[in-house]
Each structure stands twice: as C-alpha cells, then as structure tokens.
Amino acid sequence: MQSAMKLYKNLARFYDLIYSQTFREFHEKYAQFVFEAYKKFCKSKGKDLLEVACGTGELLRRLKKLGFNVAGLDLSNEMIKIAKKKIKANFYVADMKDFSLGKNFDVIVCAFTSMNYNLNRKELENTLKNFYTHLKQGGITVFDMPPKKFLEKRIGNQWLRVFEHGDLEIVRISQLEKGEKENTVRNVMMYFFKEKGKVDFEIDIHEHGLFKVSEVKKLMKKCGFKKVYVFGGLNFEKYTVNSNRAYFLGVK
C-alpha cells in the first residue's frame, strides 16, 4: 500500500516531535518497568538487551542509562538513522518476523504497540519464535499490545491533535477503521504541516493486527516460553478485562 507507514519513512523526522510528550511519561515508566522485570524474572547472567522496532531510539537511550548493553532493530532505515545520532550501539535494519543476528540477548523488548504490526497469528508466531531463538537460556522478552476488544471498541472514533514546535505546526486528524483483512484495524491519519510559512499535507495508513490476550499467551507457550505473565500496567498491575494495554513477559 503506497500511503502505508510514511511516519517511519519520509515523515520520520517529525516522529520525535509528534510523540515527545508521550515519550516523557510513557518511555520513562516503560524503561523502569523493563529494568524491574529484568531484576525479578531474568535468570541469564548478562545485561545484553535488544529493542525490536526501536524506532528513533527514545526508549533505548533510557534503557542504556539504566545499565543495559543495548542494540536496536527496526524495519525502517530512516528511523534507525535518527536513533544512531542519539545512541552509540549496534543497529540492525530488519523485519521482526525474520531477522537473524547470530547473537543472543538477556532481554528482548518490543514497545509501544509495535507487536501489532504483525497482522495475523502466523506473523505473530514467527516474530515470537524469533524472539525466543535470540534469547539466552533464562532470558526474558517484554512487549505490550492493546487487547482486541479495546481496539474494536474504538473503531469509528476520530481524534484531532495539534503539535507545535517553534516554526513548525502539525495538525493530525486520525480515524480508526475496520481493516480489510479479518482481525485487523486501519489507523488512517491525515497530517497538515505548516513550516516556515509553507503548508503541506500527507495521508498515512497503519494496519494493526487484533489479538486476544489468551491467544498471545498460548502462542508464547507454543514458541517455547517456559513462563508467561501478563500485566495490566507498568507497575505490574494485574491484567483485567478493563485494561487498555496488556504487558506480556515471557521467560525462556
């Protein structure tokens, strides 16, 4: 699809501006959550961490500060280029469904709904298998996904947001739609930019897979994870049907 995932390609330079507020709160807490999860659940010896779908590296740089030896992987070369300017680390441009790094990690993280870029069960299984293969024995994976029911309830909703950074103004109107394929949604986003007195616009579409929490747990077990936990928040809250986001933790 031609207008798909432009935010990670020609619009990548706007990504940090659009999410800067979210980053401050969410990424700080997320990094702390990964650190606590590592201390509580990880049985392997080292601190080697891979962030899959690391984007511009905002979470990765916080994880590095917490003492992890970090590496990042992302499908988008444009996003990786931005991350490289912030962090000294190994970066890989690859697809989470079929990467092969020839190296194992103590922790593999995939944050901020990125796992939902797997559009069906087969894709999610391939990704989880890949995470398992790249973990050391006793290592952990941590990732989040908004549950199927939560996203389904939001189909038809629209949002308007304005972001202002000096000379640059961005208006984003977005709408969540039912996807073409079964158990998918489409996030259609219209961006209007005003920069140095000139205006421009772009339309961007992101497809996401919808998965039940029970389905993901089952797949993780099928892929070999010895222990699987699901939390409802970044303070290890119990997951309930009212949770907006499920945080999965698997131990190899």
Ligand X SMILES: C[S@@+](CC[C@H](N)C(=O)[O-])C[C@H]1O[C@@H](n2cnc3c(N)ncnc32)[C@H](O)[C@@H]1O
Residues that bind ligand X (CB under 6 A): 8, 53-55, 58-59, 74-76, 79, 95-97, 111-114, 117
Is the separation of the CB atoms in 113 and 96 below 8 Å? no
Give the distance between the most distant pair of CA atoms in the chain: 57
Residue 22 Cβ vs ligand X, minimum distance, rounded to whole Å: 8
In the complex with ligand X, the residue whose CB is nearer, 48 or 144, is 144
Residue 198 Cβ vs ligand X, minimum distance, rounded to whole Å: 27
Residue 60 Cβ vs ligand X, minimum distance, rounded to whole Å: 8
What pairs with residue 160 in β-bridges? 173
> Residue 241: how many CB atoms within 10 A of its CB?
9
Residue 187 Cβ vs ligand X, minimum distance, rounded to whole Å: 11
Q: Return d(Cα 71, Cα 54) in angstroms, integer.
A: 9
In the complex with ligand X, the residue whose CB is nearer, 49 or 75, is 75
Residue 145 Cβ vs ligand X, minimum distance, rounded to whole Å: 12
In the complex with ligand X, the residue whose CB is nearer, 44 or 127, is 127
At 214, give phi and psi (nearest 5°): -65, -35
Residue 162 Cβ vs ligand X, minimum distance, rounded to whole Å: 20
What pairs with residue 176 in β-bridges? 187
In the complex with ligand X, the residue whose CB is nearer, 126 or 138, is 126
Q: What residues contact residue 66 under an 8 Å CB cut-off, 6+ apart?
A: 31, 32, 34, 35
In the complex with ligand X, the residue whose CB is nearer, 97 or 154, is 97
Residue 113 Cβ vs ligand X, minimum distance, rounded to whole Å: 6
Starting at the edge strand found earlier in the chain, the sheet holding 105-110 runs: 90-93, 69-74, 48-52, 105-110, 135-145, 246-251, 227-231
In the complex with ligand X, the residue whose CB is nearer, 137 or 203, is 203
In the complex with ligand X, the residue whose CB is nearer, 93 or 194, is 93
* 3-class SS of residue 216: helix
The token duo for 222 is 């099928």
Q: Return d(Cα 12, Cα 195) in angstroms, integer.
A: 16
Q: Return d(Cα 31, Cα 57) in angstroms, integer.
A: 12
Task: Report which residue's Cβ sits closest to ligand X.
Answer: 55
Q: Return d(Cα 200, Cα 149) in angstroms, integer.
A: 35
